[in-house]
Amino acid sequence: VRILVTGLGTFWGSRIAQQLEQRSDVELVVGVDTREPRLPLRRTEFVKADASYGILQRMVRATQVDTVLHTHLEADSTRASSRRLHEVNVIGTMNLLAAAAADGSSVRKVVLKTSTLVYGSNFDDPYFFRETTRRTHPATTPVERSLLEVDALVDDFAEDNPDVTVTSLRFANVLGDDVSTVFSRMLRMPVVPEVFGFDPRLQFVHDDDVTRALEHATVTEAPGTFNVAGPGTITWGEACRLVGRRRLAMPPLLTGTAAVPMRLLRIVDIPPEVLSLLRYGRGVDTDAFVAAGFEYGSTSLATVEAFARARRLERVVGAPPAYEYEHDVEDFFRNSHAVVRPEA
């Protein structure tokens, strides 16, 4: 298989590329992004592109990839303005799917990494959203709206291209040793915010399960949309207790207003979609992806426990240094004859 990975500069793009390049059945991994890869890669080719991926059609034609792995969907609205969310999520996906659907395209499989944010979070929600369950209220936040638009684009693409396998993975909140999400940032605070009078049921997915799920969808045939979340649920109070943090209540009324000074003072940025999660929580049904052959490594509870263990170590020895992409060094390891490569 020849694979194109979008969002190579994101944590997930780098992680999945690292994973895929170790497989002998993967012939080629090409990655595109606006930023440099976040992890050292051995044989993945990296191409710098603009955010809306205008270059993709040429790349697909030139590399003759058969699988496209779209990890470059932004679900963390603290990292991007609503304009950029639209650009990255909607326009990026549109260009990607246009490239995959072009005349004589070699693409036979498209895998997307999207989010359970598409279900929203509200008081009259079911406790376990199935992939087919409709959300109970229309989306109000830019990130949810853009991801719903992506869903619509993907549905159209799948309908128009019946010979292409389209797999859409909806991931719950991710927690892991070295990935930064709104939830991991909140759980790293000395006192963790909660909304007064609410203790929602939440689900977390371990970062290893994220990469394994993406890999599973890439190497097996599993058309359709699947929820990916650590089995079971855990309440926010329980999660805070496991990590050993006290909670500080935000007012139940005007919670959004209370979050503004926290953002301006750079204490923590809690976007509205996470505030409603802290109120009503969300659970998704995970049976469909298990039926498609995936095996979870961690439950939601185990994911939080693993995060708590990593935090305890970090408090003693400090955080590991972040990886910096350096062209010369990467070039040396990839191309120099001095490097002994196992396959060669």
Partner 1 sequence: MPASSEPPLRLVDTGADTSADPADAGDAVADVEPLVDEFLRVDAWGRSEPARALARALYDPVYRYWLRAEWEGLEHVPLDGGALLVANHGGAIPSDAPVVMHGIETELLRPVYGLAENLFRALPVIGTLWSRAGGVPAHPDNAYRLLHDDHQLVLVFPEGTKATGKLLRDRYQLRRFGRGGFVEIAMRAGVPVVPLAIVGNEEAMPILWKSARLAKLMGLPYFPITANQFVFGPVLGYVVPLPAKFRIRVLPPVTFDVEPGQARYNRGVVMEEAERIRARIQAEVDDMLRSRRSVWRG
Q: What is the C-alpha separation between 113 and 319, in angstroms, rounded?
A: 27
The conformation of residue 129, written as its DSSP 8-state character, comes to B
Q: What is the C-alpha separation between 67 and 60, in angstroms, rounded?
A: 10
Which of these, 2, 124, 148, 119, lies nearest to 69 by C-alpha position?
A: 2
Q: Judged by CB, which is closer to partner 1: 223, or 231?
A: 231
Q: From the CB of 198, what's the least distance to partner 1, in Å? A: 6
- With CB under 8 A as the contact rule, the residue among 168, 233, 298, 303 that binds partner 1 is 233
Give the pair of three-digit tokens for residue 276. 């409603």
User: Which part of the chain contacts partner 1 (CB under 8 A), choosing from 120-128, 262-270, 325-333, 336-344?
Assistant: 120-128
Burial of 175 (0-12, 13-18, 19+ CB in 10 A): buried
Q: Judged by CB, which is closer to partner 1: 123, or 163?
A: 123
- With CB under 8 A as the contact rule, the residue among 92, 285, 294, 304 that binds partner 1 is 285
If one asks whether residue 305 binds partner 1 (CB under 8 A), the answer comes out as no
If one asks whether residue 325 binds partner 1 (CB under 8 A), the answer comes out as no
- With CB under 8 A as the contact rule, the residue among 33, 74, 76, 125 that binds partner 1 is 125
Q: Are the C-beta atoms of 113 and 166 separated by less than 8 Å?
A: no
Q: Judged by CB, which is closer to partner 1: 151, or 287?
A: 287
User: Which part of the chain contacts partner 1 (CB under 8 A), choosing from 53-61, 105-113, 280-288, 303-311?
Assistant: 280-288
Q: Judged by CB, which is closer to partner 1: 49, or 205?
A: 205
If one asks whether residue 159 binds partner 1 (CB under 8 A), the answer comes out as no
89 contact partners, CB below 8 Å, separation of at least 6: 73, 74, 143, 146, 147, 149, 150
For the window 135-154, what string marks contact with partner 1 as x by the rule CB under 8 A? -x------------------
Q: Judged by CB, which is closer to partner 1: 162, or 197?
A: 197
Which of these, 19, 18, 20, lies nearest to 65 by C-alpha position?
A: 20
Query: Helix and strand tally (H, E) in the chain?
Result: 13, 13
If one asks whether residue 252 binds partner 1 (CB under 8 A), the answer comes out as yes
Q: From the CB of 136, what's the least distance to partner 1, in Å? A: 8
User: Which part of the chain contacts partner 1 (CB under 8 A), choosing from 30-38, 127-135, 211-219, 303-311?
Assistant: 127-135
Q: Judged by CB, which is closer to partner 1: 41, or 308?
A: 308
SS3 (DSSP) at 319: coil
Which of these, 297, 304, 302, lies nearest to 209 by C-alpha position?
A: 297
Give the pair of three-digit tokens for residue 187. 């759980």
The conformation of residue 133, written as its DSSP 8-state character, comes to P
- With CB under 8 A as the contact rule, the residue among 129, 171, 204, 294 that binds partner 1 is 129
Q: From the CB of 128, what's the least distance to partner 1, in Å? A: 6
Q: Judged by CB, which is closer to partner 1: 11, or 183?
A: 183
| DSSP state letters, 91-109 | IHHHHHHHHHHSTT----E
Q: Judged by CB, which is closer to partner 1: 130, or 312?
A: 130
Give the pair of three-digit tokens for residue 181. 């999400």
Task: Pinpoint the alpha helices (H) of the chain.
Answer: 11-21, 56-63, 82-85, 92-101, 142-160, 182-188, 207-219, 236-243, 255-264, 272-280, 287-291, 300-317, 327-335
If one asks whether residue 293 binds partner 1 (CB under 8 A), the answer comes out as no
- With CB under 8 A as the contact rule, the residue among 223, 224, 237, 297 that binds partner 1 is 237
- With CB under 8 A as the contact rule, the residue among 195, 210, 214, 243 that binds partner 1 is 195
Give the pair of three-digit tokens for residue 86. 């639209």
Give the interface with partner 1 as residue ranges (CB under 8 A): 123-130, 133, 136, 195-199, 201, 231-233, 235, 237-238, 241, 252, 280, 283, 285-287
